[in-house]
Amino acid sequence: MFSGTSLRHRTTIYAMTNKKALITGCSTGIGRATALELTKRGYDVVATARRLESLVDLKVAQTLALDVDSDASVTSALQEVGPVDVLVNNAGFGIEGAIEDVPLDDVRRAFETNFFGAARMVQAFLPAMRERGSGTIVNIASVAGIVAPPLGGYYAATKYALEALSESLSFEVGHFGVKVIVIEPGFIETKFSSNLADHRGGTGPYAPLATKWEGATTTLQGGQESPGPEIVALAIGDALALETPPLRIPVGSDAELIATTRAAMNDQDFEATMRQVLQFDW
């Protein structure tokens, strides 16, 4: 299975591409790491974020204030940047908590950024790719778009939606020479918590489940610390270098394990496995 897992420590000299890549959500984490990685590989990177000051120290070809939730902001970015060869939809909003507990306003906010934001960017930048007959759209989904974890249902729903959009889009635009790649990271050490609505709480009827899920995530990671965002950036760079990249690329050993396990099992067997991992006694 394709993965950046084994690529964390390497030195490689890359040929200059002379291609332009626009990346959303570059203030921290995966977006910032991807901006640096693609710059190293010779791309003219346009790194974007809601707050331009968060990009002041980022050494890329261009930085730009961009709010993917805003039609006007996306239109303005298109006018300023023009056509791109690569679009990386990374901007995201996290949300955790039981389905019963999470305010629906937070759910709408998550969908606005994670799903509609990506769709808005695709609608803006895809036409030039289609007309040119080349281009790549990279959507940053999640392993939560493969398996919806407890206390993460709403976030998973946004990523399931992005998976569906990406799959359909790949069928629509492949014959125009446009590639679509879905990156599915597992647990990654980022500052994503700064853009997270956390409604798990420490007490209440779902507290025991939260404790079990925390233990399960430790098991899935093999007791190791989560890798940094660089592993995702490497996977993106390597996928862009492929003539025919796969549609879906799980990144991280936990994501690979979850993806392969889910694909190999029917619903009943997978549910039983999840109950075992979670050590459910109910």
Please list the active-site residues: 155
What distances in angstroms separate CA 89 from CA 13, 16, 220, 243, 247, one per listed residue? 26, 23, 27, 20, 15
Structure tokens at 236: 């993106």
**26's torsion region: left (phi>0), alpha (psi -120 to 50) or beta?**
alpha
In angstroms, how far is CA 277 from the centroid of its own chain?
25
What distances in angstroms separate CA 249 from CA 91, 118, 162, 257, one per listed residue? 18, 18, 14, 12
